[in-house]
Amino acid sequence: MLTIDSFAADLRTYLEPSQIDQVKKAYSFAKDAHQGQTRKSGEPYITHPLAVASILADMHMDHQCLMAALLHDVIEDTGIPKHTIVKEFDDQVAELVDGVSKLKSMFESRAEAQAENFQKMTLAMSKDIRVILVKLADRLHNMRTLSHLDPDRRRRIAKETLEIYAPIANRLGMNNIRIEFEELGFKAMYPLRSSMIEKAVKRARGNRKEIVSKILDSISAALNRENIHAEVFGREKHLYSIYDKMRSKRKSFTEIMDVYAFRILVDSVDTCYRVLGTVHNLYKPVAGRFKDYIAIPKANGYQSLHTTLFGMHGIPIEIQIRTHEMEMVANNGIAGHWLYKTSEDSVSGSHKRAREWMKGLLELQQSAGNSLEFIENVKIDLFPDEVYIFTPRGEIYEFPHGSTPVDFAYGVHTDIGNTCVACRIDRRLAPLSATLESGQTVEIITAPGALPNPAWLSFVTTGKARGGIRHALKNQQRNESVTLGQRLLERTLQTYKLTLKDIDPAKLHKVLEDRKIADLSSLLAEIGLGNQMAYVIAAKLVSLPDNPEEGNYQGPLAIMGTEGMVVTYARCCKPIPGDPIIGHISAGRGIVVHTDNCKNMQELRNKPEEIMAVRWDPKVEQEFSVELRVELEHEKGIVAELASTITNADANVERINMIEKDARLGTLNIVLSVHDRVHLANVIKRIRTIKGINKIIRVRS
């Protein structure tokens, strides 16, 4: 059993005696604070903080980190305040303990609260990476002692470990901890599947021994012939990685176990490439299966050469080649780097990448609308299967597999993403929705005043892009709703022969206070979005009853087509300029414009407070969608002629669907964009001249 004396003896290998004394002092303080408390196993509670500190000592973490590990539950569980820890120890230790304490309730309640706690974690991480290292060690010890909890709690903790903690350990390059999280989580979450795969691995191991031994001998002999000093050993596949590959790649257990994996460790980068040449001479490499993570490291700083070979009798062999230092980084990641001690100038490798990742988390946090949106974006970024993309200047950026030029634009800078209008991939113009592949050079074309397209949300993959687009669209919608709200309120006030400037500030303040709205701008936005009624607010501002006769003061609002997202055109009746129209005030959406005779407006006419008189502005220049149903005879090339006729009439075909047909006749639904009713009439007139067209109807509601 681990004791403070045996723990202190282990620390002598890398800490000063004075630092070890500080760690012992923290242990005594924590032991007194937790006096009388026990764990579910019945052991004294202090055994847990000591075990957490021991995990961090194995990674050679500094004395302050170890002290924080010993004290990490003191604020939360014993009621001792933060200022007492500052007084007993120092500010840094107290900050670390406070940071870890804030994460205590992470993922323990409903989704919204989970997400808020996750936000707290990222803030704490950004201040000092050691906070998350203590949290990971705390979770690791809890996972090791999971058997003392009831099955439901075991599964819940295992699920969040696999979903959040293992990916964070992976993102920070801490491979050993990630693997243990996955193995323990898999065993607790799916005990039956875990034991079945474990038994199958044991059975397969016996058959593999001879082959592994032969491959090892042949690789070692080839390296000796080239006078290369290296350590060669077979890699065991972990249960969770076998299960994950079976599930994600839809492969059988036998297919996965038929691949033999080896790792070769050498002293220098130069030797890594010499080893690669030697093994490629020994066995034939599989085309397209070579990855150079030394020249282009992974996002978490991982470096290695990966290659797949056809071994003896065509057996697939996976080989990883790296230096001893790369092996240490692969296993301990950021913990082996003393990130928190390095200055900004000396930061490199996985230090820099981890810091950039956390900087990215802070940006996500600032742009996310709420905690749930934030955690959704972070989860996307925690599962990267990277592609490496070059800027025209040769800088490298890594992105998750499936990323698009829009992800790239936001990855370079949020402003570039917001104003992006087109792109070139390898010097050729390409769609913004194109999927990027490693090694491509991407150039983004921007335009001042351009705005993100809501359709981008359907194809972007990174949290930064998703958050940036949503943030920009929210700002755009707010600006548009403020403008519309002002138009609606000013128009209503005109009936009282007033403008907004004439309103008494005291009355405005009272209206804002009554509705718990921060300022005039927010009030106008609420009116524009349909959450507040202009005539009610106007009546309050001039101290009149808020239910006057609508007709007394409201002339129709002119629809200009430039209102943006706060004025939408109903999909049911697709109104176009020239149609008699009516407005429906929809909470959160602003004004939805329908045709006057739309069936969907019939029931809403009983709610006059939601109906608004609107008219088309004479200067509307936008294009509007309209739907036609065309009955035609089956003649060769008639659909092509129809599309061509519409295009020649200066209209654009958005969609054509065949909705029914028999041997002689067919019916098409065509959605096209036109300027107004006169334009539509001209289009229909031209369509009627086509031989074989029997009937044309405009589809409404």
- Residue 364, domain member (yes or no): no
Sheet containing 665-674: which strands, arranged edge to edge?
A: 652-661, 665-674, 624-633, 693-698
Asked if 617 and 567 touch (Cβ cutoff 8 Å), the reply is: no
Q: List own/partner pairs for 504-511 with CB under 8 A and 24 or more apart.
A: 507/540, 507/541, 507/542, 507/543, 508/541, 510/540, 511/537, 511/540, 511/541
Backbone phi and psi for residue 90, each to the nearest 5 degrees, phi listed first: -155, 175
State whether 310 and 320 are in the same domain: yes
Q: Provide the pLDDT for residue 549.
A: 46
Cα(508)–Cα(483) distance, integer angstroms = 18
Q: Provide the pLDDT for residue 122.
A: 61
Backbone phi and psi for residue 16, each to the nearest 5 degrees, phi listed first: -75, 150
Reported as a pLDDT band with limits 50, 70 and 90, residue 181 is very high
- Residue 209, domain member (yes or no): yes
State whether 81 and 160 are in the same domain: yes
- Read off the tokens for 423: 């792109």
State whether 286 and 244 are in the same domain: yes
Q: Taking residues 527-549, what's their average pLDDT? A: 71
State whether 41 and 174 are in the same domain: yes
Cα(393)–Cα(296) distance, integer angstroms = 16
Supply the mean pLDDT for the chain. 83
CA angle 128, 133, 137 (to 5 degrees): 155
Catalytic residue among 43, 62, 77, 610: 77
Q: Provide the pLDDT for residue 327.
A: 87
Catalytic residue among 43, 76, 160, 244: 76
Taking only the tens place, the pLDDT of each residue in 36-50 is 889 888 899 999 999
Backbone phi and psi for residue 451, each to the nearest 5 degrees, phi listed first: -130, 150
Residue 605 has pLDDT above 80, yes or no: no
- Residue 171, domain member (yes or no): yes
Backbone phi and psi for residue 373, each to the nearest 5 degrees, phi listed first: -65, -40
Taking only the tens place, the pLDDT of each residue in 472-489 is 888 887 887 888 888 888
Q: Provide the pLDDT for residue 395.
A: 81
- Residue 73, domain member (yes or no): yes
Backbone phi and psi for residue 202, each to the nearest 5 degrees, phi listed first: -60, -40
5 is catalytic: no
Domain of 684 in residue numbering reads as 624-698
State whether 236 and 188 are in the same domain: no
The amino acid at residue 242 is I
Q: Taking residues 496-509, what's their average pLDDT? A: 82
For the chain, how many residues are written?
A: 701
Reported as a pLDDT band with limits 50, 70 and 90, residue 679 is very high
The amino acid at residue 609 is E
| Entry pTM | 0.59
State whether 583 and 688 are in the same domain: no
How many beta carbons lie within 10 A of that of residue 652, not counting itself?
12
Q: Provide the pLDDT for residue 680.
A: 94
Q: Provide the pLDDT for residue 105.
A: 47
User: Residue 617, class by beta-carbon neighbours within 10 Å (0-12 exposed, 13-18 middle, 19+ buried)?
Assistant: middle
Cα(481)–Cα(501) distance, integer angstroms = 19
Residue 572 has pLDDT above 80, yes or no: yes
The amino acid at residue 48 is H
Cα(44)–Cα(27) distance, integer angstroms = 13
Q: Provide the pLDDT for residue 312.
A: 79
State whether 590 and 671 are in the same domain: no
Q: Where is 652: in which H helix or E strand?
A: strand 652-661
- Read off the tokens for 473: 């669209």
- Residue 125, domain member (yes or no): yes
Residue 664 has pLDDT above 90, yes or no: no
Residue 431 has pLDDT above 80, yes or no: yes
Question: Which range among 172-181, 295-304, 464-473 shows the weakest confidence by mean pLDDT?
Answer: 295-304
Residue reference for tokens 């058997």: 147
Highest mean pLDDT among 119-123, 184-188, 471-475: 184-188
For 567, the 3-state DSSP assignment is: strand
Q: Provide the pLDDT for residue 269.
A: 93
* Domain end point (choices 164, 192, 220): 192
Question: Which range among 23-27, 181-185, 379-383, 652-656 shows the weakest confidence by mean pLDDT?
Answer: 379-383
Residue 697 has pLDDT above 50, yes or no: yes
- Residue 578, domain member (yes or no): yes
Q: Provide the pLDDT for residue 502.
A: 82
SS3 of 232-248: the string is EEECCCCHHHHHHHHHH
Q: Provide the pLDDT for residue 381.
A: 58
State whether 566 and 651 are in the same domain: no
Residues 6+ apart with CB under 8 A from 175: 169, 302, 330, 331, 332, 333
Reported as a pLDDT band with limits 50, 70 and 90, residue 296 is confident
Q: Provide the pLDDT for residue 103.
A: 62
Q: Provide the pLDDT for residue 123.
A: 62
Q: What share of the chain is helix, strand, coil (3-state, %, to 5)?
A: 55, 15, 30
- Residue 370, domain member (yes or no): no
The number of CA neighbours under 13 Å toward the Cβ of 516 is 0
Reported as a pLDDT band with limits 50, 70 and 90, residue 359 is low
CATH of the domain at 99: 1.10.3210.10
DSSP string, 212-269: HHHHHHHHHHHHHHTT---EEEEPPPPHHHHHHHHHHS---HHHHHTSEEEEEEES-H
Taking only the tens place, the pLDDT of each residue in 54-101 is 999 988 888 999 999 999 888 878 878 888 998 999 888 888 888 787
Q: Provide the pLDDT for residue 367.
A: 61
CATH of the domain at 663: 3.30.70.260
Taking only the tens place, the pLDDT of each residue in 377-409 is 665 556 556 777 888 887 878 788 889 999 999
* Domain end point (choices 311, 335, 359): 335
Reported as a pLDDT band with limits 50, 70 and 90, residue 110 is very low
State whether 13 and 158 are in the same domain: yes
Classify strands 420-425 and 581-586 as parallel, antiparallel or unpaired. Answer: unpaired
- Read off the tokens for 621: 């220049």
Cα(140)–Cα(161) distance, integer angstroms = 9
Cα(695)–Cα(562) distance, integer angstroms = 34
For 345, the 3-state DSSP assignment is: coil
* Domain end point (choices 335, 350, 369): 335
Taking only the tens place, the pLDDT of each residue in 329-342 is 777 776 654 433 44
CATH of the domain at 254: 3.30.460.10
State whether 495 and 567 are in the same domain: yes
- Read off the tokens for 432: 């913004």
State whether 221 and 320 are in the same domain: yes
Question: Which range among 32-41, 488-497, 542-551 shows the weakest confidence by mean pLDDT?
Answer: 542-551
Number of domains in the chain: 4
Q: Provide the pLDDT for residue 379.
A: 59
Q: Provide the pLDDT for residue 344.
A: 45
Cα(690)–Cα(640) distance, integer angstroms = 11
Residues forming beta bridges with residue 292, ordered by sequence position = 305
- Which residue did the predictor score with more confidence, 205 or 157? 157
Cα(42)–Cα(31) distance, integer angstroms = 16
User: Residue 207, class by beta-carbon neighbours within 10 Å (0-12 exposed, 13-18 middle, 19+ buried)?
Assistant: exposed
Residue 346 has pLDDT above 50, yes or no: no
Residue 166 has pLDDT above 80, yes or no: yes
398 is catalytic: no
Helix residue ranges, H only, 333-420? 349-367, 371-381, 405-412, 414-418
State whether 62 and 185 are in the same domain: yes
Residue 345 has pLDDT above 50, yes or no: no
- Residue 448, domain member (yes or no): no
Residue 442 has pLDDT above 90, yes or no: yes
